[in-house]
A = this chain, B = another copy of it.
Amino acid sequence: MSRLTIFGIDGLPEITPGVDLASLIASAAAAGGDDLRDGDVVVVTQKIVSKAEDRLVAIDPDDPLGHKPLVEAEAVRVLRRRGELLITETAHGFVCANAGIDLSNVDRGFAALLPVDPDRSARRIRDGLRGKAGVEVAVIVSDTFGRTWRRGVTDVAIGCAGVAAVVDLRGTTDALGRELQVTEVCVADELASAAELVMGKALGVPVAVVRGVDPTWLRDGSVQGEVVRAPADDLFR
C-alpha cells in the first residue's frame, strides 16, 4: 500500500533576483533534518520562482490598483470582468484571475509576474538539485487559482519537471474488470494541492516535499504540454 509523506521546508532566506533556488532549497532541507531523496516531488510556489527570476515590476505603492495596467498587458485575452476582477488568459494559456499577478508576499511597491516558462523553471530547479544535492527529484511550480462554480482557491501546477502532469489510465480496467471511462488524472495539480496543505499561505513556507509517489509517474512531464487545454477544445471560452 502506498504511503505519502508531505512536509514543508522552512528556513529559506528572503529570495532575491538571481539567487540559486536549488542550492537554497537543498540547504534548507538539510538544515531541517530532511535531506531530499531520489523520487521526492519538490513543490515550489510561484512567488519565490518569480522573485528568483526577477519577474518583479515596480508599481505605484500608493495606488491600490497600480498593478492593473500590468494585468492588461500580461493578459492575451480577457474572458470576464467584474469590477476590478479580470478573468484572463495568459500567454502560457492559463486562465486565471488578473493574469496571475498579485501583491502578497512581495515588497510594497512591486508586483510579481508569472515566470515566463514555468516548465523550464521547474527543469532548472530539478537540474540544480541534481547538481547540488546529488538527488533525482521531480519539481512542480505551484500557484493559487480560483475555479469556476466552486468557491475557494486551490493550488495547481503551472510547471513541472521529472513528473507526469497527467497520468493516462485509458485502457486499464477498474476493480470490477470494466474499462475505465474517466481516466486522465492531473496528478501534478493534485500534488500541488497536497503540498499546499502544509504551506499555509500566511506562514511563509514556500517549498514542500511529497515523498512516496508512484514511481511510474516520475517521467518527463510538462504542464504546458499536458494540462493547458486548447481554446478549440474548451467549452467555456
Which positions in A face B, CB cutoff 8 Å? 1-8, 10, 32, 79-80, 82, 87, 94-95, 97, 102-108, 144, 146-156, 165-166, 169, 172-176, 178, 180-187, 189-191, 193-194, 196-198, 200-205, 210, 213-214, 226-229, 234-237
In the bound assembly, the distance between CA atoms of A185 and B172 in angstroms comes to 34
Chain B neighbourhood of A173, CB < 8 A: 202
Q: Is the CB of B189 within 8 A of A175?
A: no
Q: Is the CB of A151 within 8 A of B180?
A: no
How many monomers of this chain does the complex have? 2
| Nearest-Cβ distance from residue A9 to partner chain B, whole angstroms | 8
Chain B neighbourhood of A169, CB < 8 A: 201-202
In the bound assembly, the distance between CA atoms of A184 and B99 in angstroms comes to 19
Chain B neighbourhood of A6, CB < 8 A: 3-6, 194
Q: Is the CB of B186 within 8 A of A4?
A: no
Say which residue of B1, B176, B226 sits within 8 Å of A151 (CB atoms): B226
Say which residue of B10, B106, B148, B178 sits within 8 Å of A105 (CB atoms): B178
Chain B neighbourhood of A184, CB < 8 A: 151-153
Most interface-central of A3, A80, A204 (chain B CB within 10 A): A3
With contacts A1-B32, A3-B7 taken as known, whether A151 is within 8 angstroms of B228 at the C-beta atoms is yes
22 contacts between A and B (CB under 8 A): A1-B32, A1-B198, A2-B200, A3-B7, A4-B197, A6-B6, A94-B149, A102-B182, A103-B181, A106-B178, A150-B189, A151-B228, A152-B165, A154-B185, A154-B190, A154-B193, A172-B202, A174-B204, A175-B203, A182-B201, A187-B197, A193-B194
